Chains A and B, each alone.
Chain A
Amino acid sequence: MNPATSYKKKDFVSNQEVRWCPGCGDYAILNAVQQCFASFGVPKEQFVVISGIGCSSRFPYYMDTYGFHTIHGRAPALASGVKIANPDLHVWVITGDGDAMSIGGNHLIHAMRRNLNIKILLFNNRIYGLTKGQYSPTTVPGKKTSSSPFGSLDAPFNPITVALGAGASFVARTVDTQIKHMKGILQAAHEHKGFAFVEILQNCVIFNDGAHAQITDKEVRDARQVDLRPGQPLVYGKELEMGLRFDGEQLLPCKPEEASIWQANSPTGARAFQICQNTEDGSIPVPIGLFRQVERPCLEDAIHQQVKEVTQNLGQGDLESLLRSGETWDVS
């Protein structure tokens, strides 16, 4: 790696006009990512930003890095090839709730289980933006959209449980408008050696405005969010005056000093699985932050290690040895 230059945000701004709707939450995420990339100390030619199709997936065009706007749902698969072929690259995947969880669900969960050292940012606006507002696999039931004029009937996915179920080694959630929190999560994702899944609650002003407002609006944010910080107690509120504690399979409100200490690296992640579902009735705040972070081997490392070992055992192959392999005979 070259000695990392010291970058400014603008070094990551491409010359392409940004074409999201005015007010779209994607702008803030773009801004945060550009800032973070500038701060990582990674030579910029080592970044590859890969996306599928969707409003969110236009992201690579706006980043002055290597970028690949692929096809709908397939970004994790393509990124896997990139990372395996060249493990030195910093591969970031940008995707939407439709791209990642609808058509691309299988590639997503397989990338998670394989634990390639890839970062995935899922812009969850709970709607198909680019195709003009159909419901997505994260849309709340009952919502009237162009494809559900009488209300959507599908039960949605919880992206966090899906990621945990698939064995992701890093699972986090942040919010488009909370730039400081977002940058912290992006930094942690960058530092994580392995697959990092980040759900970003993102507002689509056109087709699903306010979809996350009940937890992200400035007025309610403190009361309705709890930030999961490993090693820290589960406290929230403007003055962190409220706490949560685990009691068997229940999560109960408590005084801050009684709050459970959050661990993101337990053997099974069962509490992460629990806490991200404990919020349906509104009595318990919605968790953001770091659900899970564990270390396990990265597939691309194992692949290259095996290549190395086999080469050591069998010797470096070349054209000569290839052509001479097998049982041969001569005709003269």
Chain B
Amino acid sequence: MNNPDLRVSIGEIHMKNPVMTASGTYGYGEAYSDLYDVNFLGAMVVKGITPEPRKGNPPPRIAETPAGILNAIGLQNPGVEKFILDEVPRLMKLQVPVIVNMSANTIEGYQRLARRLDEVEGLSGLEVNISCPNVKQGGQAFGTDPKTAHEVVSKVRKETKRPIIAKLTPNVTNIASIAVSVEDAGADAVSLINTLLGMAIDIKSKRPLLGNVVGGLSGPAVKPVAVRMVWETAQVVNIPVIGMGGITSWQDAVEFMIAGASAVAIGTGNFTNPVAAVDIIDGICAYMKENNMEKTTDLVGKVSIETIE
């Protein structure tokens, strides 16, 4: 049998395989370039960009938890202008779709970012991170309410012709309803999950282990929650779902795809195995071959559920 066809399209983002990197765990693509040719990736999602530069949170910014990590980076980034100046020229030269993850404290901020990034050549898509606190409406994340999520995405939609991926937060009662809402607002895809809000305390000092008190949980610990949310979401939306949360092996990636993810992203997994993405691409390919699957659609969403009794 021939090698299976691993190609996947997320809107107009054409990927040679379904494996992407998760925002915030891959810098601007330079950190892993010594270890392998990043052009092997399906797509690269770079660290969250904001309208203005952000210093980020005071350290410690990371804490280890059972099979997971808490992080509170605080969206440290040079701001959109410096990003365009310093990073984009290098990113443009890559043979891999580059997706910019963007965050803002206000809806206008998102609009401004989308407008500015739309002018920049060489970027393939925008991932709209609606997990950031909505400063105007009192600190709840934009992505926790279907209405505000809709508003952010539809406003961004007006500013860009690029594919929009809405990145959803898992800290909600009903993630599928948020997904439906952003689909309606014009998102070309949804990606999930962002991190689960968590906390850890040092019992000696009685102080939180993170400078920011609370942080986001990621890594293998969250995988069952992420798989469930991908499954729930994939059943109700007609746009592709990009699955992530605790993927460290090709088996994990295949599990997400069976649950309904058209593509997957590797986050924390990069830290433990710096060539995880490449290993996972190879593993998916071998799995598909072994199971006589010709294209990824033979795999995506194929969970077999019999209702017993």
Tell me whether A and B are bound partners.
no
By a beta-carbon cutoff of 8 Å, the part of chain A in contact with chain B is none
By a beta-carbon cutoff of 8 Å, the part of chain B in contact with chain A is none
